[in-house]
Structure 1
Amino acid sequence: MYETIQFIHSYWAYLVLIVLVVASVNSIIGYATNKEYGATNFRIALFTLIVSHLQLLIGLVLYFTTPYFKMWGEVGMGGVMKDSVLRLYNVEHPLVMILAIVLITMGYSKHKKKLTSKPKFKILAIFYTLALILMLSRIPWSSWL
């Protein structure tokens, strides 16, 4: 079961990153060029929200089934925090990814309350780009590529 969930989580992450990059670039371009916010822009933002939340759910299931999770009981908090690999998989990656998804959720919610195009694009550009930067900072690149 662990291998299947890890496979899904790893390959779904590519989709999350692609969609988040598209949403960030779309919102930055929309803001910079004073484009009119339309249905396509809304769908891109919504799809980014949905894909990232699905990745969070898959990640939570993976977190509690991974062998790394058992290390909390075996070596304790001090042991996990001293080992950079365990710290990445047990603390840094989950925490930063949750923060990134919180930013995506906040950006999506805040942009819906704006009435004109420029503020909508601005909110999405800020929150989605910050989420992208956070995600890129804590992807375990050594095992991902």
Structure 2
Amino acid sequence: MYQGLLHLHNVGRWVVIILLLAALIKSISGLAGDKAFTSGDKKVGLFLMIAAHIMLLIGLYQWFAGPWGLQNIQAQGMKTVMQDSVFRFWAVEHIAGMLVGIILITIGRGSAKKNITDKAKHRRSFWFYTIAFILIIATVPWPFREVARPLFPGMGH
């Protein structure tokens, strides 16, 4: 089950990134054209939030049940985990960055429900989604990153 969820989590990242880009484009378009905050804007934000929360649940399962999160901290000790860049990434940095990113997505989505002007909704969404995008992109274990090598064992130094 862990391996299947790992693959689902890997594919799900693209869903979140694509929806996040779509939400950013819609908010930029709304700001640039001084457009109304439409039901389409709300739906993209809702689908983004749902996808991000599903990835969070899958990621939390992996962190607790998989070898790179809690089990690694328990086996190695927090001091050892924090001294190793790969262990630290998986035990702390990835989950913290994604959690903050998902919180920002949720707050950005909540902006659509506020009783504020449409321009303010687009502006708030833009900033929350932009910061979330930067955090998520920075803490994804891309195959070219050193921290991703345990997931892609064929990649040497």
SS in structure 1 at match of 2:8:
helix
Q: Partner letter of residue 74 of structure 1?
A: A
Judge conservation of contact 2:42–2:112 (CA < 8 Å) in 1: no
How many angstroms does 1:114 deviate by? 3.4
Q: Partner letter of residue 57 of structure 1?
A: L
Q: Which position in structure 1 is the counterpart of 2:11?
A: 11
Judge conservation of contact 1:114–1:120 (CA < 8 Å) in 2: no
Which blocks of at least 5 consecutive residues in structure 1 are unaligned? none
- Using the size of structure 1 for normalisation, the TM-score is 0.94
Determine whether 1:56 maps to 2:51. no
Which blocks of at least 5 consecutive residues in structure 2 are unaligned? 153-157
SS in structure 1 at match of 2:36:
coil
Judge conservation of contact 1:111–1:119 (CA < 8 Å) in 2: no
User: Aligned Cα RMSD in Å?
Assistant: 1.5
How many angstroms does 1:107 deviate by? 1.4
Q: Which position in structure 1 is the counterpart of 2:37?
A: 37
Q: Partner letter of residue 138 of structure 2?
A: S
How many angstroms does 1:126 deviate by? 0.6
In 1, Cα distance between equivalents of 2:22 and 2:91: 29
Q: Which position in structure 1 is the counterpart of 2:22?
A: 22
- Using the size of structure 2 for normalisation, the TM-score is 0.87
Q: Which position in structure 2 is the counterpart of 1:73?
A: 74
Q: Which position in structure 1 is the counterpart of 2:113?
A: 112
C-alpha change, 1:73 and 1:80, in structure 2 (3 Å) is same
Over residues 82-122 of structure 1, what are the superposed CA-to-partner deviations in whole Å (9 max), with x where a residue is unaligned?
Answer: 11111111100000100001111111113311332111101
Paired residue total: 145
Judge conservation of contact 2:42–2:109 (CA < 8 Å) in 1: no
> Bigger relative contact order, structure 1 or 2, given CA contacts below 8 A and separation 6+?
1
Range with greater deviation from structure 2 (132-141 or 70-79): 70-79
% identity of equivalent residues? 37
Range with greater deviation from structure 2 (63-72 or 119-128): 63-72
